[in-house]
Amino acid sequence: MDAIPPPPAIRRLGQNFLVDPNIVRKIVALAELSASDSVLEIGPGRGILTEALSRAAGHVTAIEIDPRLHTFLSERAEHLPNVALVLGDALTAPIEHLPMGTIVVANLPYYISTPLLFRLLSHGNRFVRLVLMMQNEVADRLIAKPGTSEYGVLSVMAQYSAQISKAFKVSPKCFRPRPEVDSAVVLLRVHEPRARGPQEERQFTALVRAAFAHRRKTLVNSLKNEGYDAKHVEAVLTRLRLSPSLRAETLALEQFLELAHHLADPA
């Protein structure tokens, strides 16, 4: 029995703690961990997932922003022999020193799930695999296909970096306190960058953001509003046999990559 009860949840820090051991098991199984693996956990909270990760992996680094929970877990260090508990903000904490091939496993704090995801995916294959619990609605945007209302910047950028699958949904009943939304666990397998070099990658990222900046407009008009030369865009679309009246949400990832490549040519 715990000597000290865990501190109460702070909602603004996204503290919806998992209480269903079956979900913990399914998350750990999905991560396919072995004793030689290094794991990064974001937001260990009261440690339900951390303990399971500690048993399944070689080493776990767990970054927690709440000093109360950091202290609570530090006092249980005997259950977490191979876990480095770090007090810090996962959006800014140094993660560059983690071994290449680290696997990220987390029940994310939902209020920052999107920027956290972008941060993790920006590290190339330092993080090879990500098993993340997030809002179901965000999971649907990650796997969205062109032509659907969920398809947008997040879908294109995440699919650019990783092969993504939604593994299973999780009911609010599996948490305390219960979140107001459904959740889902997503598996992301990070792959090699598809752009031809870092400059093209920057152009691709800027293009995707500009293309979706004005969702109701045609691609040409949205890009024009974001400072692109409309005539050059039209010429490139014609060269690629794409209609000048199409909208960003109908373009597949490969087409965005092609477009970024050709737009970089002088007009």
Binding site for ligand SAM (CB under 6 A): 13-18, 42-46, 48-49, 63-66, 69, 89-91, 107, 109, 112
Give the nearer residue to ligand SAM in terms of CB position, either 130 or 144.
Answer: 130
- Report the helix count and the strand count for the chain, using DSSP H and E: 10, 9
Core vs surface per residue 98-137: b (16+ CB within 10 A) or e:
beeebbbbbbbbbebbbebbebbbebeebbbbbbbbbbbe
The radius of gyration computed from the CA coordinates of the chain, to the nearest angstrom, equals 21
Rounded to a whole number of angstroms, the minimum distance from the CB of residue 163 to ligand SAM is: 25
CA gap 71, 46 in Å, rounded: 10
Rounded to a whole number of angstroms, the minimum distance from the CB of residue 148 to ligand SAM is: 27
The pair of structure tokens assigned to 131 is 């098993």
CA dihedral over 148, 154, 155, 157, signed as positive or negative: positive
Give the nearer residue to ligand SAM in terms of CB position, either 69 or 257.
Answer: 69
CA gap 57, 63 in Å, rounded: 16
Q: ∠ CA 39-112-29 to the nearest 5 degrees?
A: 35
Give the nearer residue to ligand SAM in terms of CB position, either 17 or 204.
Answer: 17
Give the nearer residue to ligand SAM in terms of CB position, either 18 or 130.
Answer: 18
Per-position DSSP letters for 40-82, written without gaps between them: EEE--TTSHHHHHHHHHSSEEEEEES-HHHHHHHHTTGGG-TT
Rounded to a whole number of angstroms, the minimum distance from the CB of residue 39 to ligand SAM is: 12
CA gap 184, 193 in Å, rounded: 26
- DSSP E strand boundaries for 177-240: 183-190
Rounded to a whole number of angstroms, the minimum distance from the CB of residue 15 to ligand SAM is: 5
Give the nearer residue to ligand SAM in terms of CB position, either 119 or 194.
Answer: 119
Give the nearer residue to ligand SAM in terms of CB position, either 63 or 208.
Answer: 63
Rounded to a whole number of angstroms, the minimum distance from the CB of residue 76 to ligand SAM is: 14
Left (φ > 0), alpha (ψ -120 to 50) or beta: where does 186 sit?
A: beta
Residue sitting closest to ligand SAM (CB): 43
Rounded to a whole number of angstroms, the minimum distance from the CB of residue 253 to ligand SAM is: 29
Rounded to a whole number of angstroms, the minimum distance from the CB of residue 167 to ligand SAM is: 16
Give the nearer residue to ligand SAM in terms of CB position, either 97 or 216.
Answer: 97
